Structure 1
């Protein structure tokens, strides 16, 4: 478009558009809509000799879409309202473990169910420096973004401080970390740019979840915010291959979204978000941009090239950081963060561990059942492999739990545990109330409980890991009140559709449990949705499920004392009870005393004990402190610290002190010693446990 003497600001004012859009027309980066071209004809100086508006050749409209890609920043609100950040992003910490959980859950929910193949998720950390970083900044049109970043970073509020740190990392250290999340055999960002659909739900909207399947893990529409929360620059680029065509295309649908706080740039006020895309000639606002179908060269420059034509989406987090990883690194000798190589390695390993911890069940196969998910992590530096791709293996991260689920899927479970390596199965009831007052929605669901012996690398033992249809770990909890001498075990509770296709009321259980989960999807309990859709007391059904589960575990793992394994007696010879008083105190009332003690040395080398306490009835409450010491041949017994203390039954734990309420006769507590405080290995010494009255006497 060519003009003659008219100021760009005057032209923008005449047409009711922004100066930036006029500049795009004059630089041939965009073409005006026909109605705007007609209005331009009325402006003196914009007519050629034939009296027509002079637009640079018709071929400009046939240029590749990338030539007209621009940033559109949402204008400030007319009513003066201001948002200093995306509230949804504050629901989660900028933690790679949280990101891995939320992003992988979304990919798992979007698995293409037209086939029986797993969804494949790959995380790629990519550090850019030097010329590689410079080329990437050019590709994202950094010169257009920089004034907005400077304005946002100058604000003294949380988002501004995060952005300021991101700018220093990139500009002063010439370093930028990208984190790409690719999924394959997924649905992709299908649907219109603005109307209801997956694309609009992710790119345009907040707090909208387009998941109609009750087995889906997400339900709040908050999980996607972790992508932007993980970016110090608030910037995420997307490349999607669609499972169903849109506008006649399926491949390389690109869009970028930037989340910044309210800001003022060159005298204009902007509300917050911005989008990278192609100007939409059909939008009411001529500046609005939409997604575009990119060529392979553009995709490569943006580091968004996908490895295959399988449907799914690649999310590129620009300026990725991990609060927890930085905290683990600590400062170096100069007071700065640890070196970058270690940081990349920590981030890599945290992603691997998070995937193994939360999605081991989704990655487990058995019998004719394929896994629902495959996941891997790799790390690059300037396009060169730095840490090779590491596939997450559930048998490595959760061997006992994975063995239990594999036996269920293969149909090789047993009714009772009689041999090493077996998996016992039973069912527990979940009574589902009516939903929204609808008849036929209530009934008894039978959840599947699996129990097997604990093995190395399983972490904490004697726990129940619960999940539903998408097989993401929802919660892990201790089983209270286990008999002394119980063999270490792991238990898995499969509810809803995870219990199998023939489980009664599986769909109803899915919806009920999904309604009981908070945005983090990390427990089942009372929520506002559960209260509204079912009843104020509906959470009691979940408490009953927990009680039934613990009772069933007791029945499967309890060992009569006469059948305790012979190894227990060998260990017991190295255990001593101490701290019994030699005289009565408080008149005629004896303090609580240790009556029985069972212990094993766990894989980490720690003593894991279960202790029974005998309490004399009557009198006032007692406060007693368990103390662990190592038995030595001479000299004072070294005191070791507790890594963990758990009040199991008839007592409470507060700041390391056991409280025994009046009327208690017997109580049980558990403890695990802190290996770092052991002067010698547990296998080379004995253990003495004392129960000492806490200072302060009566509770």
Structure 2
């Protein structure tokens, strides 16, 4: 600013705003708020009629008569207690996959059940820079927040360090990433600002679930904390369209919540959380704010405009980041994450994959039963589409599993698998124990087990994916002890209400399994709630369910001896497992060793093998390369290439290399040789398979 000796960078620093915001004022593309204008004049030491900001009147003619929106920061505790962060947020990592799982589960639980339509969830990544960022900071009253952020960032503890990194990202690089989660055909944040209801449970309280539906995925009230955990600035804004009126309104109910650690600003101590809202004139404390019914212009300035009038809520995570994505992007010598564009695209893809992996069943339809959920992801830059909206399709992410569920919903399952594409159905027992001593809650539930052949796009094969009423994947586990030669498959276990309305003791099984899930809802086992509501050994019923499920899978996928591929007995004498040393012994631990081999010659003339490997204990990661050689009468054994390699159990395959750990003492892989590399026909040779260690094979 000419004549004042203060440049835009220095002024921005003194005001606690970005340089882009100051430049926007100077170019008359935006105006400072009246109270901020006074601070500008104080810093510059000029009267209101001088300087380039003088064109802005401190009192706008179109300001509403009612009290303006403001930030309320909870005062520090009188007893001196201090909280340096929201403990609930530490229950989860700031990971986009965790966020997608928890937030989508909450939307699924809040689906409007008065109609048969699915809940529609859309994730929007939005990167703001330059003027767009400046306008957004003005809208959230950044100048009021900045002293609190500086005080929080100065503290040498975890939350303070996260906030400090978020501030550097925004100010030094003039960049802010928003992540918005919209749901439609949901209940919305209904209820009073302070009393019991959905609004208070999400905005005001911790560890309150408010989910009475027995089929709900959440039960701890922790999942909402992932919204704030994913924000480097601890800030989430909300716009809700209500399914039932409150104060005579249903649309554009706005509130903001900020989670910071205890701090001291201008000699005042603050407990932690803060809220953006309209001052509540009826509250005992005149500074307390409540939600307000905003106009369309305000909603747009906060990037919270919703599509249509369908009820639901939009959550805007300010300063979104993804630990896994940032780690993948790598860091330069100064510790800053590079390649922003790729990082933004990775975040987009991680959201898509997480939704496909965890909610494929909720998005699957069959017969006259529609999906429970529709989900999509899009990415914007300064309001312009950067990556087009991508709808998550269950058939793309989980083709075999979604085919199995679709067959169940359509009633097209079979008793045995005899043809490709079929889905076999059986039931397995779960003996539900009595709850709270009520004998009428005990009984035998019949969970539904579906089995179908696996396809290349399914990822890990020979697994059982288990779920209950809301059809979110709870756990996925290997099926142990499968005989060699078992055709690759995928299995789905539908328990509780997911097994169908007519399944015996479905509601009781649903509540029992829900009580057995930890906050992450990623397994069934012993929990405090299960121990309190059921008898202490009740968790053993789940172990029996797992055992019965694996037994049923074996019965469905086992190949009768009379139907096993012909030629096995003819070639068995021509199979050899190399006895040569294939890796260095480390201490007393030898590398993984081929223990059994089964092979047939396929119609194409290729060797088709199933190999079982004995994995040593010790916790080391071994990298081994399977090598196929033809046994000839004279000369060296010709090495043939693999046309296909598949890691079946207790191993992983990357770039033709098998990775083994001691987690499972036995591992299985399959392979098919490349006929084009055979110097002679397989029928005229024997086969030797070796497992050779790659240099540097132990990580």
Same fold (TM over 0.5): yes
Q: CA 1:517–1:690 in 2, change beyond 3 Å: closer, same or farther?
A: same
Q: Which residue matches 1:235?
A: 235
- Equivalent positions of 1:272-311 (< 5 A) are 272-311=272-311
Which residue number corresponds to residue 501 of structure 1? Answer: 501
Per-residue deviation, 1:499: 0.4
Going from structure 1 to structure 2, the CA distance change for 1:191 and 1:657 (only over 3 Å counts) comes to closer
Alignment check: 8 A CA contact 2:627 2:692 kept:
no
Which secondary structure state, in structure 2, belongs to the residue aligned with residue 546 of structure 1? helix
SS in 2 for 1:161: helix
Residue in 2 aligned with 1:629?
626
> SS at 2:440's partner residue?
coil
In structure 2, do the counterparts of structure 1 residues 443 and 424 end up closer, same or farther at CA, with 3 Å as the change threshold?
A: same
Paired residues of 2:478 and 2:649 also in contact (CA < 8 A): no
Comparing 475-484 and 236-245, the one that deviates more: 475-484
Structure 2 residue aligned with 1:594: 595
Q: Secondary structure at the match of 2:125?
A: strand
Verify the 8 A CA contact 2:348 2:379 in the aligned structure 1: yes
**Does the Cα contact within 8 Å between 1:627 and 1:689 map onto a contact in 2?**
no
Distance 1:333 1:301, change over 3 A: same
- Give the deviation of 1:334 after TM superposition: 7.6
Deviation, 1:562, is 3.3
Tell me the TM-score normalised to structure 1 length. 0.79
Change (3 A) 1:631 1:353: same
**Counterparts in 2 of 1:455 and 1:568: CA distance versus 1, 3 Å:** farther
Q: Kindly provide the CA deviation profile for residues 571-614 of structure 1, in whole angstroms up to 9, marking residues without a partner as x.
A: 98996422289xxxxxxxxx99834436999xxxxx9844288x
Distance in 1 (CA, whole Å) between partners of 2:176 and 2:485 is 54
SS at the partner of 2:341? helix
Matches within 5 A, 1:599-614: 609-611=610-612
Structure-2 change in CA distance of 1:592 and 1:94 (3 Å)? closer
Matching residue of 1:417: 417
User: Where does structure 1 lack aligned partners over 5 or more consecutive residues?
Assistant: 1-25, 29-58, 582-590, 602-606, 614-622, 648-653, 661-667, 693-699
Partner of 1:365: 365
Is residue 440 of structure 2 the alignment partner of residue 436 of structure 1? no
Q: Give the distance between the partners of 2:492 and 2:601, measured in 1 at CA.
A: 22
Q: Structure 1 residue 63 and structure 2 residue 75: aligned?
A: no
Structure-1 separation of matches of 2:118 and 2:409 = 16
Q: Distance in 1 between matches of 2:676 and 2:259?
A: 55
Correspondence for 1:405: 405
Q: What is the Cα deviation at residue 336 of structure 1?
A: 3.9
Q: Relative to structure 2, which stretch is displaced further, 446-455 or 558-567?
A: 558-567
Q: Does 476-485 or 229-238 show the bigger shift?
A: 476-485
Q: Which residue of 1 aligns with 2:256?
A: 256
**CA drift at 1:375:** 0.1
Number of matched pairs: 597
Cα RMSD between the aligned structures?
3.6
TM-score of the aligned structures, taking structure 2 as reference length: 0.79
Mind listing any 5+ residue stretches in structure 2 that lack a counterpart?
Answer: 1-33, 37-59, 582-591, 603-607, 615-619, 631-635, 652-658, 679-686, 694-699
Post-superposition Cα deviations, 1:394-447, rounded to whole Å, max 9, x if no partner, equal 000000000000000000000000100000000000000000001200000000
> In 2, are the aligned partners of 1:599 and 1:610 still within 8 Å (CA)?
no
Q: Which is further off, 327-336 or 484-493?
A: 327-336
Write the deviation string for residues 117-152 of structure 1: whole angstroms up to 9, x where unpaired.
000000000000000000000000000000000000
SS in 2 for 1:128: strand
1:646 is matched with 650
C-alpha distance in 1, partners of 2:641/2:502?
A: 54
Q: What are the residue-to-residue correspondences of 1:459-470 with 2, within 5 Å?
A: 459-470=459-470
Partner of 1:479 in structure 2? 479
**Partners of 2:282 and 2:506 in 1: how far apart?**
46
- In structure 2, C-alpha distance between the alignment counterparts of 1:683 and 1:212, rounded to whole Å: 62
The match for 1:449 is 449
Partner of 2:525 in structure 1? 525
Name 1:538's counterpart in structure 2.
Answer: 538
| CA distance in 2: counterparts of 1:426 and 1:551, whole angstroms | 11
